[in-house]
Chains A and B, each alone.
Chain A
Amino acid sequence: GESVGLHLPTLSVQEGDNSIINCAYSNSASDYFIWYKQESGKGPQFIIDIRSNMDKRQGQRVTVLLNKTVKHLSLQIAATQPGDSAVYFCAVTAGGKFQFGAGTQVVVTP
């Protein structure tokens, strides 16, 4: 069946450095990909998305890269700030039924 996995459960990053969070997926028919941020006790918050016809998309301080060849997705956060501390997870869909990764806990240290 479908699986969505993350490579690292915890990422510790110094304030001001860049963060890179990775996600692997298995269904080659996946056509839409989302990164979410989830702070403790809150619901997931949309960060950025990308469709399968693109390989890169940029937002404010965030960039998502999609490599369909190896079925890999990454989220880059530039100049990580204390407010970026949260769990980040990817969601992948082929036809409207989403599957979520387990999440990477990003800890921003001063």
Chain B
Amino acid sequence: EPEVTQTPSHQVTQMGQEVILRCVPISNHLYFYWYRQILGQKVEFLVSFYNNEISEKSEIFDDQFSVERPDGSNFTLKIRSTKLEDSAMYFCASSVSLPTDTQYFGPGTRLTVL
């Protein structure tokens, strides 16, 4: 069964450093998403991406965040200058065409900012 994959599974970085989290969505999906989940808290929507541009973004997704589809398979989330409060699980998801199609989540990347 096709699945969303994410790398790395765990990323440790120093405050102020840039990180890039990588995702490979399911191959025939067209809508991509990033979510984050701070330990013990609810999942929070960050951004959705369709047709090579941001479709929706939340208040959390400020100028330090960016997303990119650098090739036909990868979908990345870049955090330009990490802060301690960016420590969280980051989940990538994809859906066939619409946000109201079933979204399939990846296993997540645990980001730890020291």
Q: Which residues on A are within 8 Å of B, measured CB to CB?
A: 4, 31-32, 34, 36, 42-46, 49, 51, 89, 91, 93, 95-103
Contact = CB atoms under 8 A, between A and B. Distances in A.
B91 A96 contact: no
Interface residues of B, number: 22
Contacts, number: 52
Contact of B42 (A46, A49, A103): A103
Contact of A98 (B4, B41, B45, B108): B45
Interface stretch (B13-21, B69-77, B97-105): B97-105
A89 B43 contact: yes
Contacts of B45: 97-100
Interface of B: 4, 41-45, 48, 55-56, 58, 91, 93, 98-100, 102-108
12 contacts: A4-B42, A43-B91, A46-B103, A46-B104, A89-B42, A89-B43, A93-B99, A96-B99, A97-B45, A99-B45, A101-B42, A103-B42
